[in-house]
Amino acid sequence: MRLRPALALLAVSVAALASACGDGTDLSKGPGYKIGEAPTPPNEDVRDQAPSEALPNPLAGFPRGSQQLAVVCGRGRNDGVSRGLCANPSIGSIVDLQGAVGLRFADRSARGRNGANGNPAFAMLAHSSSLIAHDVSALNPRAIVFTSANGTPQQTPGFVAMGFARGETFVELVAHDRTTNKLTFYLVVFEPSCGEDCTVGDMVTPAVEKGWKSWSLYDDEDLKNTILDCRHCHEPKAGGPRFLRMQELQDPWTHWMRNDRPGGVALFLDFLRAHSDTEDYAGIPAPILQDADGRALEDLVVGNGFDEQPNMFDSRTIENEVRASAPAQPADNTVPGRSRTWEALYERAVRGEVIPPPYHDVKVTDPDKLRFAQDAYADFKAGRIPASAVPDIRKIFLDAALPGMSLRPKEGATGREVLTHMCQQCHHPGLDQSISRARFDVTKLDSMDRATKDRAIARMLLPPSDIGHMPPRIMRAIPPEALARAVEALR
């Protein structure tokens, strides 16, 4: 894996935290925070960030459990996910799920390794442009666990990969069928131990990873006309080749946590300040968690022929340009960086030509919100507050970065630009034309019929709690002023 020992980062983290805390400041106390109270983060404005309240279930009305399993298994696929889950194993945790699909960590001790000693490979992402972008930061990373390529780019027929971040009740899976040479994307939706009475703390702590009451399996055919559709990113042209996406494919893998790159270390320090080095995450054993490696995922992606990535993020060039404009980066993002290379990628996304790129800075978090959430989570870990008092540690984005993250539209965008930037990733001419989502094609606004435009307006004006709200709140939010311009453009 070409990694330094995990203990090296621990030594760095202890020194860095000691320096940050001066003469022994109590890490359990953040600004405006009192132990035992339900806290309110400082300077918080999260109207354009993911809400804490439960979002509408996009799979409401779909079959569940054994009934749905029979539907998926009846399609006769022969990949690692179908073989493992069609046997209907008893799954009560993410560790059980990993075992069922061939991603079990055989050696969970400090002697274990990333992608060796019988373990799968894994990587951790601190900023995502996926379906769960609203959930992902260094404090609540997206973990990817996958079949090891043994430290080199090579084909791995029959591979399986799993993606998960706390805060959601689903796990993403992709599997390669070595017989047909096809990829299938799956979603395992589980009922957490807290059932329908979950607090934020239940969802963003280890509790969400175990004690599952039930689970259901869906594949990309089931999901193709829902907001959880995998194909609009992994098969952007209906009937075309499917592929794995990894925009930050090359060293230094800007938003991938790694213990021997400046950006990766800065992200790991933010994670460890809250979680410490003793907490398993997404089924990955704590003793080897700091061996997370973006290169391992690069090996899988490149080795299986997916090295041509749309809107590739040039990590080295962008990081160099950011540091030149803001020398304190990446450890301190108080002064945002600038990158002409990134700006060109972003403008392509605003024009609707490609999916949005990741943000230009390594960190996407507001320093005050991050520190507050770290302290609260550390208090939970130490038993000083219950899970019910844990704030939503996902709501820590830097407000000024939201347009650059494409979670809301570009500042000053016209109504047509708002529609293109916010909607084209899911509403474009490459879609399967048999699904209803294809009727609203933002590349054809001038020729779109009045009824379709009126339906779009009505959905954009629905409350975010409504399943029909557009764009889906789980993905993006349009501020009122920009929304008014978008509606006017449709009118």
What's the pLDDT score for residue 289?
A: 97
How many Cβ atoms sit within 10 Å of the Cβ of residue 86? 18
Cα 53 to Cα 46: distance, rounded to the nearest angstrom: 13
For the chain, how long is the longest CA-to-CA vector? 67
Q: What is the mean pLDDT of residues 452-464?
A: 94
User: Cβ(218)–Cβ(64) under 8 Å?
Assistant: no
Under the banding of pLDDT at 50, 70 and 90, the label for residue 54 is low
Instruction: Determine what percent of the chain is predicted with pLDDT higher than 90.
Output: 74
Question: Does residue 35 register a pLDDT over 60?
Answer: no
What's the pLDDT score for residue 210?
A: 97
Q: What is the mean pLDDT of residues 94-117?
A: 96
Under the banding of pLDDT at 50, 70 and 90, the label for residue 69 is very high
Burial class of residue 106 (count of CB atoms within 10 Å of its CB; 0-12, 13-18, 19+):
exposed
Q: What is the mean pLDDT of residues 144-158?
A: 95
Under the banding of pLDDT at 50, 70 and 90, the label for residue 170 is very high
What's the pLDDT score for residue 128?
A: 92
* Edge-to-edge strand ranges of the sheet holding 121-125: 121-125, 142-146, 160-164, 170-177, 182-191, 214-219
Burial class of residue 438 (count of CB atoms within 10 Å of its CB; 0-12, 13-18, 19+):
middle
What's the pLDDT score for residue 221?
A: 93
Cα 128 to Cα 224: distance, rounded to the nearest angstrom: 21
Cα 193 to Cα 213: distance, rounded to the nearest angstrom: 6
User: Cβ(399)–Cβ(366) under 8 Å?
Assistant: yes
**DSSP 8-state symbol, 463:** -
What's the pLDDT score for residue 296?
A: 97
User: Tokens 């359990």 belong to which residue?
Assistant: 28
User: Cβ(88)–Cβ(66) under 8 Å?
Assistant: yes
Q: Which amino acid is at 72?
A: V
DSSP states of 377-402: HHHHHTTSS-GGG---TT--B-GGGT
Cα 45 to Cα 445: distance, rounded to the nearest angstrom: 33
The torsion angles phi and psi of 146, rounded to 5 degrees, stand at: -155, 165
Under the banding of pLDDT at 50, 70 and 90, the label for residue 55 is low
Question: Does residue 29 register a pLDDT over 90?
Answer: no
Residue 314's SS3 state is: coil
Domain residue ranges of the chain, discontinuous segments joined by +: 1-309+360-398, 415-490
Higher pLDDT among residues 419 and 55, named by residue: 419
User: Cβ(91)–Cβ(99) under 8 Å?
Assistant: no
How many Cβ atoms sit within 10 Å of the Cβ of residue 383? 7
Q: What is the mean pLDDT of residues 183-189?
A: 97
Classify the C-alpha dihedral 207-195-184-420 as positive or negative. negative
User: Tokens 């060796």 belong to which residue?
Assistant: 116
What's the pLDDT score for residue 125?
A: 98
Q: Which residues pair with 214 in a beta bridge?
A: 191
Cα 351 to Cα 340: distance, rounded to the nearest angstrom: 17
The angle, 0 to 180 degrees and rounded to 10, between the axes of the packed helices 315-325 and 340-350 is 120
Q: What is the pTM of this model?
A: 0.89
The torsion angles phi and psi of 179, rounded to 5 degrees, stand at: -80, -45
